[in-house]
A = this chain, B = another copy of it.
Amino acid sequence: MAKPSRRRRGVTTIEDVARAAGVSAMTVSRVINRGKNVRESTRAAVLEAIEQLNYSPNTAARSLAAGQATHIGLLYANPSAAYLAQFLIGALHAARSAGVHLVIESCESEDADEQAEVTRRFASSDVEGVVLPPPLSESQPIMAELDAMGIPAVTVAMGSPREDSLNVRIDDHAAAMEMTRHLLDLGHRKIGFIKGHPNHIASHDRYRGFCDALAEAGLDADKAPAEQGYFSYRSGLTAGERLLARADRPTAIFASNDDMAAATISVAHRMGLVVPDDVSIVGFDDTALATSVWPELTTVKQPISAMAEAALELLIADLRSRGGGAPRKFTERVLSHAMIIRESSGPPAGAKKVKKARALRNA
């Protein structure tokens, strides 16, 4: 028998692959990593061996030997639970592929000092980089503190990132335009808007997208009724009431997120209005709430998991490149959104025939 090794039962190691491919372990390592300075034929042989043996490198050994990043921080603050869950799933996925541990910490406080304090705690726990999903991606104190400590960060869904920082987002402006066009296409001309929290750059992008789509259709965006909201359900109640109480009640309302859209639906019901027959109401984000209300919300879906994955990839690539001195390749990534048409949007009351015609056409 072979030496009484401590090796675990039949796990294939880089050594096995090397033997199978007739090269040294180092060459296999090179193929797996940078892949530079390896002859094409050798690479092919190694890749084939890897495939054959179904080999996957041991992340523990890898990070130990390379002394690479092993812990990525994730600082979050009460986004919706649905958002967080999606985000975590994506982040975990990316973390696993990279062989990195995710260290997650919450930071609910909006106080600058406390945010800095939480941030500092990260530094002392060996975190090599930090991911900031919204709303923390907009937090000036946190970014400043991370900068001061030399810890790189990647922000997610931040409207106007600084030139030199890493950022992942969707095109809020384009998405809002698309949603507005959807309402226009249905025949709506009096469309109300509920703005998001003014601190979030995305809020402004969405509102601009709304206005631009109206302008594109030859309507006067300034005349469109817009109420200030703050992304919360409660703020949606107030804003929704104002819009629906107007003498020239809009036939459609575009809320900057699902919570406020859901609140508006509830207001409409209380006023005896039928959605979408009397008023169409659409949201943004496609959170769980979107399907927990009746009728279910037409909304915009962000690829949250994919965004989290992209964020980690960006960050890890950056971390690895720091040693190599090579400048980072990307500092921003824009992922694509999707329109989710459900039951809360439909043609305005005067256009029943259009609805029928469409239904027939689609059938």
Cβ of A32 under 8 Å from chain B? no
Which residue from chain B places its CB closest to the CB of A262 in the assembled complex?
B292
Among A228-282, those with CB < 8 Å from B are: 233, 237, 259, 262, 269-270
Cβ of A102 under 8 Å from chain B? yes
Which residue from chain B places its CB closest to the CB of A291 in the assembled complex?
B233
Number of A residues near B (Cβ < 8 Å) is 46
Which residue from chain B places its CB closest to the CB of A289 in the assembled complex?
B292
Q: How far is the CB of A131 from chain B (nearest CB, A)?
A: 13
Among A138-168, those with CB < 8 Å from B are: none
Q: Are B101 and A101 in contact (CB under 8 A)?
A: yes
Among A83-135, those with CB < 8 Å from B are: 84-86, 88-89, 92-93, 95-96, 99, 101-104, 106, 124, 126
Q: Are A81 and B8 in contact (CB under 8 A)?
A: no
Q: Are A292 and B259 in contact (CB under 8 A)?
A: yes
**In the complex the two chains form, what is the Cα distance from A11 to B289 in whole Å?**
46
Cβ of A38 under 8 Å from chain B? no
Q: How far is the CB of A73 from chain B (nearest CB, A)?
A: 11
**In the complex the two chains form, what is the Cα distance from A81 to B82 in whole Å?**
5
Q: Are A64 and B64 in contact (CB under 8 A)?
A: yes
**In the complex the two chains form, what is the Cα distance from A92 to B82 in whole Å?**
17
**In the complex the two chains form, what is the Cα distance from A237 to B67 in whole Å?**
56
A62-92 vs B, Cβ < 8 Å mask (1 yes, 0 no): 0110010011000000001110111011001
Cβ of A7 under 8 Å from chain B? yes
Q: Identify which of B67, B106, B233, B269 contacts A6 (C-beta below 8 A).
A: B67
Find chain B residues with CB under 8 A from A294 CB.
237
Q: Are B102 and A92 in contact (CB under 8 A)?
A: yes
Find chain B residues with CB under 8 A from A58 CB.
64, 70
Q: Are B64 and A92 in contact (CB under 8 A)?
A: no
Cβ of A60 under 8 Å from chain B? yes
**In the complex the two chains form, what is the Cα distance from A261 to B312 in whole Å?**
38
**In the complex the two chains form, what is the Cα distance from A105 to B199 in whole Å?**
35
Q: How far is the CB of A260 from chain B (nearest CB, A)?
A: 11
Q: Identify which of B7, B93, B102 contacts A67 (C-beta below 8 A).
A: B7
Q: How far is the CB of A320 from chain B (nearest CB, A)?
A: 14
Q: How far is the CB of A348 from chain B (nearest CB, A)?
A: 24
Cβ of A334 under 8 Å from chain B? no
Q: Identify which of B60, B67, B84, B289 contacts A64 (C-beta below 8 A).
A: B60
A288-308 vs B, Cβ < 8 Å mask (1 yes, 0 no): 110010100000000000000
Q: How far is the CB of A52 from chain B (nearest CB, A)?
A: 15
A-B contact pairs, 29 of them (CB 8 A): A8-B67, A11-B126, A54-B124, A56-B126, A58-B64, A59-B70, A60-B61, A60-B70, A64-B64, A71-B96, A81-B85, A81-B86, A81-B287, A81-B288, A82-B288, A89-B104, A89-B106, A93-B104, A95-B101, A96-B101, A96-B102, A96-B103, A99-B101, A102-B102, A233-B292, A259-B292, A288-B288, A289-B289, A289-B292
